[in-house]
Structure 1
Amino acid sequence: MLSKKKIVTLAVVGVIIATIAYFSINRGKVTYTTEAVSRGAVVEKVSVTGSIAAMTKINLQPEAGGKVVKIFVKEGDEVRAGDKLIQIDAREAASAVAAQQAAVDSAAARLNQLLAGATAEELHVSQTAVDTAQAQLDAALGTKSDAATSLENALANQVNVMARAAAALQSKIDSFVIDYDQAAYVAGDAFNRLLGSFFNSSDYLSFACTNSQFQTDAESTRVAARAAVARLRDKVTAVKANVTESAVEAAYVGVMAELRIVNDHANAGAAALNYSANLTSSTLATYQLNANTAQTNMNTAMQELTTDQTGLDLQRKTNATDLTNAEIAVSNARAALANATNAVETAKRALAQAQANLDLKKAGVRPEEIAAQQATVNAQKATLESLQTALAKRTVTASIDAVVAQVPVELGETVTASQVVAVLNTQGKFEIVANVSEIDIAKVKVDDKVDITLDAFQGGERWQGHVVSIQPAEKVVEGVVFYETKIVFDQEDERLRPGMTANLEIESGRVENALRASIRAVKDKAGQKSVQILVDGKPQDRQIKTGLENTDYVEVLSGLAEGELVITGTGK
């Protein structure tokens, strides 16, 4: 009987052995960490940093480019509406004003001249103008008559070209049909008359042939040629019943195919004849002549059809060129007539104006002419006032009471009409200006909610805002593309100051009750998202389609079901 001490010892040894066996068996076995696919909110956010700026900023731009010759203010200056800020070089504008002043003076002098009446010399000049205008009208009428004749000739030529083209094309078609008919006759003659004596009624050679292959070729092509001759007659008959360009051309490929079959038969018969064994010399000579005649006639018929096809194509191209040239000639003639007609109308108006001027001078100045010249004077004065206004606007002034935030130009710098030369700040609400990278900008849109913290406030205080604008033009900073995005606070806070650094969490997307999986389970290979799930204790790849994602979850659009376990990690 075992003692108690021995029993305990044996038990301990057994436990040790079992432990060693367990770890030996499970050594190297992989374990998996999983997480169930669930439903819940998926909120996608874009994190960026920006800075607070006064929401109301006025960018002042000159209405014309030029060199900055004087700067009246500096950053931080308080200005009133109308105060001078920037002076742009106004020498060109001043010259324009001076030139326009001269135009005003000239119009006024003309008005005074009308009021004084016409002189004998002025009457002579006006009569000369009438004579010149009449001569120009006569010349224009002659040109118009010539242009009308040219158009008539061009139209007549176009009709003739169309008729000649149609006739030439029809001639090619008719020739094609005749050659089709001739080809069918030649094929039938070759098969029946010239080669018929080579074969018996069963389509076997009527003479002995020492070359079995040539005999087989001759006899097998005989059967095919018989059918080809019949089909050829049908095709040619169909074309003759419908002699059109499309029908004639459409039949070409089929007719040539049938002719080649008959031609192959003629060649095979001639080849077999070279190995004839029991023909008399006179019969052999007759057969050889028939075979040569059949081959020659077939080749000639096929060549004529090929020539017909080429000729038809060439005729179409020739017709197209001739018709195009005729159309161009008509178009040019129409344009010339239109130009000549316009020239006649212009000459008529010029003559009428010259005659009216002469009549007016002879009759004395009418009140209407004086009124018209007075209107010219007034128009020139209005232009002068506009130029004077433009000259005055070369001095950039403050549009409202404000504080100068920036003067981004220097003395002597040349600026453009669209360039900002001064920036004004007004007291009021603030905005945050942030640069969003091109990687994230597609996710951000106007009205997205924004969670805001400020470095100036360390107590965890938060503000809420929303996106109000996204600049369409990119901004490159150290080789990286950004897009300027502006955010406003939903509530005002008097503690806010321009320049404060703002940390932004832009909520670019939110889906409530979304089917979601742990982001740690998702793999991305060449744009294809996948996860691994456990099937009978073994990992299995599963492709999925995803939507929104954040640092914790990804929205699952397809590929997984709620409750499935996805692998998030492995261990041993």
Structure 2
Amino acid sequence: MRTRTKVTVGIAGTIVIAAAALGYAATRPKPVEYETATAVRADLVQEVSVTGRVKPTHAVDLAFERSGRVAVIPVAVGDRVNKGALLAGLNSADLVAQLSEALARVDSAKAQSDQYAAALRNQQARLDEVRRGTRPEEIAVKQAELDTAQQDLANAYKDVVDTLRTASTKADDAVRVKTTALFSGNLSSGYLLLFRACNDPLENDVTFLRASSERSLQAWQTSLTAIGAGTARDVLDLALSDAAKELMLYQQFLDRLNQALVTECSLQDDALDTRRDDVNTARVNIAAQLAAVADLQQDISANQRIVARVEEELKLKQAGSTSSQVAAQEALVAQAEATLAGQLAQIRQMEASAANIRAQLDKAVLRSPFDGVVTKVDLEVGEIIAANVSLVSIISDAGYEIEANVPEADIAKLKIGDAGVATLDAYGNDVTFRTHVAKIDPAETVVEGVPTYVVTVLFDQPDERIRSGMTADLDIRAAERTNVIVVPLRAVFGRNGDKFVRKLRSQTGGNEVVEVTVGVGLRGSDGNIEITTGLSEGDRVLIEVPKP
């Protein structure tokens, strides 16, 4: 019985032990599964990716600095132009006439200055002679010099008759011929303008000056019939002075008539363009005759002074020198110096006036500031335009750049000179263009509430496929490291200002997870981060903490 009992108990115990074993197997914990990564050595690159737009390196909108009527437009949209090429010009015949007159005055003043300089040298030479004393041969030389000076003066007077006749002919053409088509009436009935200047005082002034000029011209031409080769010199001097007054009267008439032709009202009449040219031609002719009369007067005056000076010098040589004569000659030298200085000052003033007119002429034309392509021409020949209105646009032919807004989170990564690669939406991702960062705007630009900074990127090589306005995708290489230890960025976490990883450490019976403090460096664009301290190559780290 015991045996059976033992056996029975033994069988029952076996059954209990087996059941317990099965229960333990069913409730035993499964092995923990980890998502891990291995610390490896690799090259790490940090890139900033943004989208921008292609624009020309230079673009400019051009406008006239003065108003007027468009006279010429030698270019069209799409034309390539060189720096300094004419793009458009206004009618500036009046300024051309003024410049011609101003330059004539400058030339006349310079000629007079040369005479004054020569006179100063002569006075200085005379002073040297007075101080030195006179020799017989010097008296003979001075007498010959006087004879020459007197002959030069006589020759100058011979030119008076021809000069007066030429001035009379030009004045007749300017007053009677060039302006005839602009007036009706005659001297007896009075003159009326054949166009409206929309300015009654100006129109009255013009018709009055027309009649005054006609009447004065008749009287002047009558007086000139008495002038001939045998006319006394004092009469010739008076005739030249009268001629200058007459010409100034005609000049005043033509200037006022020109003002009437360029009022806003009269400029609307295209039929008057030819008449304006006639009046400007008349003004130039009258200015030239005024200059010719002035030049002859100056020539005669200069020769008279030379004759008087040489006569005085001859007398001094013949009489010998005294202390008072030396003092007097010194005073003449000082006077000649002052006269020359005054004339030079007048020349500078006249040149400044001519330069001002040139500046006004420059404002009547548009020229290309650089080599490029015309992108806008918004004007027509004959159109009256206002000042400071953009009419012609040019973009540079030298190259293109990409302008992109970089978020504040990435701007600190970039610096001038960083290389990059650009793709243009027009050509797809297979076509790339090498670039480099050229400029980083220090001031922020808020885009949709986000502070951004404008970065300008230049193409390394010119390419005819690049066009202004294209959309560009940029990958800028901000930094790189070679042969450094890297782990996935997800494996690193922070706490209290430090960086940590969870490192797997093998041990008997399984793996142990320990937190390790690490130093980090560059964050790569591929999702990895540089580990500078705390890990060795081959170490395994957790990417995610396993769930229970």
Quickly name the TM-score band, shorter chain normalised. 0.3 to 0.5
Question: Normalising by the residue count of structure 2, what TM-score does the alignment of the two structures yield?
Answer: 0.43
Larger % of helix: which? 1
Question: Normalising by the residue count of structure 1, what TM-score does the alignment of the two structures yield?
Answer: 0.42
